[in-house]
Chains A and B, each alone.
Chain A
């Protein structure tokens, strides 16, 4: 009986399992298996918002300008461009002979269509604000005027002209963002919502979309019609979502992944020992900060906010909690933007012991002691490291007479509470640069910004930010204005910057051209594999 049952077991299981086939890539085809921490939300450039999409769309599409392997600006669909003397009119000369993957020409009309589509309220684009710098951009997006009123025009099929509201020195940098990439009008008109599906998607980048299985892989294949196809070394790139960081490490180790863009930071020491040079960590343009309600007693007191900020041991957070996967941060704008020097908190060069003494003095003066503590609540969204950070800060502030309570909610609840300006003391937030300019980090503290979770409201800060905008034509003066604005923000403790982000890549020795840069940008067209 035993034998018969065993036989049946083996047979039935084999049957149930054997529904699939083995997968073997064709010989000599260069396949790059690229770990990507999350699946894209959408492959429609006008519906995306995350960096996970940015990696894929950079391979699929080519905007007017693009980034090279070091994240420097290079010509993309536009071969060259000129800017009017007043800095408001950009004229792009499109690349001659450039075509979509279906063979049709990439024309100025395609960009007119794409820019209008991004702003059209009916598209519901999350990143529509990228083109608010274009004349009528905001008016179109808020439904005040028709999309046709957007100040973009096709002078001729190879000349595309954009008129801005005011000189905007970072406009070209903004155009590297995936939301400004062109889309194919003919395909969208013909296929409607299905235009984005594999087999339908017409793109103008180095790759075309072959397969998309959510939570499994996105397969891109080399586009032979791409203008620089000859120098593209990778034939197929598989973007593999690696939500489970521990599994990603094992898959990398087993050779199933050639690179991955994140690591389980709690295993940092082991990973460093095991992977050596394959683990690449460096500064990434992002700031991890706490927003503190500047218009709510007792936090409306600058001195008190400063004492709290000063007492937080950022070195400890970076080294112990984040295992050096983050750097201690004292400014809102992280280092790494050429020509800009961040305004650091005044206490940045003091020792931690001096800072704590100073903070203690201020708190005592305001009447707070361990016996008569100040109560403070820290809200954070679910994540082991956000929790550990908050717990560490709770411990650090305790001896100074600040009694911290912690409140954890899931991400959606957290941000909807912040957005609705709920009643909180301190809340965790983070900001990653959309483009390489200090504006992206300072704009979120402006009074009108939806991301101003501190309710920071300083006429002096607003004035300097407006001055910077007005000085758009003079890049040096503008960066100086921005630095002054940041100085005001930091001295006011309008936000409490804690850490600067780092990129954390695992790169196999077989992979070349995956260069390190502050934007963590790695277009596959510049990558090669042994």
Chain B
């Protein structure tokens, strides 16, 4: 098992290298640069700016310098926010995105699993249909509709929550964004859980367990749930990577200073170093969470062995 983890971590290195290289050259293909804007700059002033950030060097040299800096943990300065380095921007924003994303994910996993199980146990009854209806609504209403509704209802009409802002991390400021992030995930988890639970309940070992006279609780929680939860685990990997690295829509609407918006803003602003930073962070999160998922598989399902 340990050997397996080590091997996976080692293969992550060439993967990261390929991702970084591709991203570095792809963003340069996009027309324009960080210093194109409404108010045009004279060629001399633009040259001064480019020289300051080493953008006048040949591309291969810039690439070499970037890789070298990256290996030393230096993501470089942000071109469009020169008061900050990319590292500083992530140090400030990532904990915020992780906090919101993790809260949403935990909420989604617990509520989703619960709802899915309840639906499966009451298949084709009222409870089941309500869960299905809720799940369909949750996964089809986009976040940019849910978020303003939460703002209007809880912020303006009932005045229970602030409309937006991070408020230095106040509890009330987090509720709106967490709910918005969690709702679609709850829906997905509930549907996944319902399907796999129904299947699990029909399997032979459950029939055996029931025949042996085990209690309902024991059959569902100790035997059926264990098998049914596998699809949820594989869903959680990519979902966690996506949720923890922030959402541009939720962060923009609720004015949250996370990193989700950098993914889009940096690309639109041709802020090359910030684009690279976001690519590295997302790639790392994806690799790590996929690895965690695979390990979890082995833990939950005795049939899976990596040795």
List the interface of chain A (C-beta within 8 A of B). Answer: 1-2, 5-6, 8-9, 12-13, 16-23, 39, 41-44, 47, 49, 121-126, 128-129, 141-142, 196-197, 212-217, 240-244, 246-247, 250-251, 253-254, 256, 409-419, 429-431, 449-451
Contact = CB atoms under 8 A, between A and B. Distances in A.
A412 B43 contact: no
A217 B165 CA distance: 9
A196 B83 contact: yes
Interface in B101-121: 102-103, 106-107, 110-111, 113-114, 118
A247 B163 CA distance: 7
Nearest to B155: A254
Contacts of A216: 165-166, 255-257
A247 B151 contact: yes
19 contacts: A6-B114, A13-B106, A13-B107, A16-B103, A18-B171, A20-B167, A21-B169, A44-B83, A49-B37, A215-B256, A216-B166, A247-B255, A250-B155, A409-B31, A410-B268, A412-B32, A412-B34, A412-B36, A415-B32
A4 B125 CA distance: 23
B220 interface: yes
A451 B159 contact: no
Contact of A240 (B82, B165, B253): B165
Contacts of B168: 20-21, 23
A88 to B, nearest CB: 23
Interface residues of B, number: 75
With a 10 A CB-CB cut-off, give which of B39, B49, B159, B164 has the most chain A CB atoms: B39
A8 B172 CA distance: 20
Given A41-B80, A124-B52, 20 more contacts: A9-B111, A20-B174, A42-B83, A44-B82, A49-B37, A49-B39, A122-B52, A123-B48, A215-B251, A215-B255, A244-B252, A244-B255, A247-B252, A247-B254, A253-B156, A256-B165, A412-B31, A413-B36, A450-B40, A450-B42
Contact of A215 (B38, B39, B93, B270): B93
B44 interface: yes
The dominant DSSP class at the B interface is: helix
A129 B49 CA distance: 13
The dominant DSSP class at the A interface is: mixed
A8 B253 contact: no
Contact of A43 (B83, B111, B270): B83
With a 10 A CB-CB cut-off, give which of B30, B34, B106 has the most chain A CB atoms: B106
Nearest to B252: A244
Interface string B21-55: 00000000011111111111111110011011100
B261 interface: yes
Contacts of B251: 215
**Which 8 pairs, one residue from A and one from B, show the smallest C-beta to C-beta distance?**
A20-B169, A416-B32, A412-B32, A216-B257, A124-B52, A16-B103, A9-B110, A215-B257
A418 B83 CA distance: 29
A128 B45 contact: yes
Contacts of B113: 5
Contact of B171 (A17, A415, A416, A418): A17
B156 A214 contact: no
